[in-house]
């Protein structure tokens, strides 16, 4: 795949990397089965195989950058996650992360953490899980991650930080990621479009510069290197 070109900023010691691109479409004229298409262009989102490949690629990038750190993911509550062999439920989250990437210009807008629809430990809408690796998340049912786009928030933290992360996500005040991440820790938010007017996007937040890690990931994938 073509190397991802991030827009990079450093604000108050926090590095932010943002990538937003329109999803790939394929021409499918003459559709009569009610499948969504753009009447002006006759274009429709690519098939599920391409979607799955791109989702796994983004997750693999996050996994590579996170190395051997402990990995966590915020996902909607679902029987598919609660009964999954690849996830360990740690508790309900009061907050979910919002990256707006369906604006007209596809610039992306970092909204930070916003309140989850339902914060009830018996019936939460968002749950924090521990994961062995991020690419395996692509094995979960696609509709679990959202309707217009598949989204998930990923954390890579040092040892014995799960309790602190859960406290962070259950706080009564809006969590601020720059106040939580320690040296070498990372936060990713990944979104893969499934409908027109949505964009593929990756947001990374880090206390340190990860340019070398991003370049190393793409050099491994490049057959010319």
pLDDT-based confidence at 50, cuts 50/70/90? confident
| Lowest-confidence region among 59-63, 75-79, 203-207 | 75-79
The whole-number pLDDT of residue 42 equals 47
**Average pLDDT score over residue span 58-66:** 96
Tokens coding 152: 């998930």
- pLDDT, average across residues 7-18: 92
Confidence of residue 142 (pLDDT cuts 50, 70, 90): confident
Reading across the β-sheet that carries 186-193, which strands appear in turn? 7-11, 14-21, 200-206, 186-193, 149-157, 70-76, 126-131, 87-92
Residue 213 and residue 224: Cα distance in Å, rounded? 18
Encode pLDDT of 148-158 as tens digits: 778 899 999 99
Kindly provide the b/e burial profile for residues 50-83, where b requires at least 16 CB atoms within 10 angstroms of the residue's own CB.
ebeebbbbbbbbbbbbbeebbbbbbbbbbeebee
The backbone torsions φ and ψ at residue 122, rounded to the nearest 5 degrees and listed phi first, read -85, -25
Rounded Cα distance, 207 and 161, in Å: 16
Decide: 62 and 154 in contact? Cβ < 8 Å.
yes
- Nearest-10 Cα torsion for 147, 93, 206, 185: -120
Q: What's residue 146's pLDDT?
A: 76
How confident is the model over 63-97, as pLDDT tens digits? 999 999 999 999 988 888 878 889 999 999 999 99
- What's the whole-number mean pLDDT along residues 1-10? 86
Average pLDDT, the chain: 84
Q: pTM for this structure?
A: 0.86
Rounded to 5 degrees, what are φ and ψ at 191? Answer: -140, 130
């Amino acid at each position: 795949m073509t190397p991802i070109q991030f827009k990079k900023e450093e604000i108050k010691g926090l590095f932010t990397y943002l990538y937003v691109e329109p999803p790939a479409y394929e021409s499918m004229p003459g559709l009569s089965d009610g499948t969504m298409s753009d009447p002006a262009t006759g274009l429709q989102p690519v098939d599920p195989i391409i979607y799955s490949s791109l989702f796994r690629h983004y997750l693999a990038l996050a996994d590579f950058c996170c190395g051997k750190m402990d990995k966590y993911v915020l996902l909607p509550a679902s029987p598919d996650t609660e009964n999954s062999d690849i996830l360990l439920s740690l508790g309900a989250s009061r907050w979910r992360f919002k990256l707006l990437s369906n604006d007209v210009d596809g610039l992306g807008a970092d909204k930070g953490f916003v309140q989850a629809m339902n914060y009830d430990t018996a019936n939460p809408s968002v749950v924090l899980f521990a994961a062995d690796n991020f690419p395996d998340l692509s094995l979960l049912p696609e509709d679990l991650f959202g309707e217009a786009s598949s989204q998930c928030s990923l954390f890579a933290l040092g040892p014995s930080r799960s309790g602190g992360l859960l406290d962070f996500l259950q706080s009564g005040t809006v969590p601020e990621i720059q106040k939580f991440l320690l040296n070498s820790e990372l936060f990713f938010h990944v979104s893969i479009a499934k409908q027109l007017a949505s964009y593929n996007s990756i947001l990374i937040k880090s206390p340190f510069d990860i340019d070398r890690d991003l370049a190393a990931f793409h050099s491994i994938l490049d057959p010319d290197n």
